[in-house]
Amino acid sequence: MSDITYGKVATFNTHPDASIPMESPLSVAFNTGSVPAATSGSRVLLKEQAFLGHLILRGGAIVLDEAVRKVLGISLPGQPLGLALDANGERSVQWLSPDEWLVIVPGGEELDIEQRLRDALGDAHYAIVDVSGGQTLVELSGEKARELLMKSTPYDVHPEAFPVGKGVTTVFAKANLILRRPTEERWELVLRRSFADYVYRWILDAGAEYAIGVEE
């Protein structure tokens, strides 16, 4: 881990040295629990996208939008609860609350992105917090993914109420997380590390009737 004094702010590279093995929030479940293999009969697929970069941005939308477009090439979502992705679907910005956004980028990019955003924002009133180590992202796909979600959350996941490009903070199996729909076929759960094992085991149980499979 290293730190960089950036203006009046000390930013930290939270990624360990490459020689140090990294364990995802689901590593215990994967190593000691059930990991059903994906098969041709799996109607729900689960995949953890571990070690991504997660940044929380806070500040005025106009100032942040200009900086985010300059650094990431993405405009802030224009609607509350909106989710915007880059052309490759690798980087995203989600509107969490009136002055709060979640940026997710490929792992290892977060420190550079944070520094470039600070450059672009200058003396504006804002906050950037790297929460990468405390969160993970789990993907659900397959023809029965929505049915599994209907078992797990009180939020209406019908396509008319939850179109592509929407994301909400909601209750999922008594845990709090962010539920997002980046594409027609895929849903994403952004959850705290402390909830990961519990939510994973819930999903396996809820998806058993759909022959759920885990992609590692």
- From 98, 117, 96, 103, select the one nearest 60 (Cα to Cα): 98
pTM of the model: 0.90
Going residue by residue through the chain (216 aa), what tens digit of pLDDT does each one get?
455 554 556 666 666 666 677 889 898 888 887 899 999 999 999 999 999 999 999 999 999 999 999 999 999 998 999 999 999 999 999 999 999 999 999 999 999 999 999 999 999 999 999 999 999 999 999 999 999 999 999 999 999 999 999 999 999 999 999 999 999 999 999 999 999 999 999 999 999 999 999 997
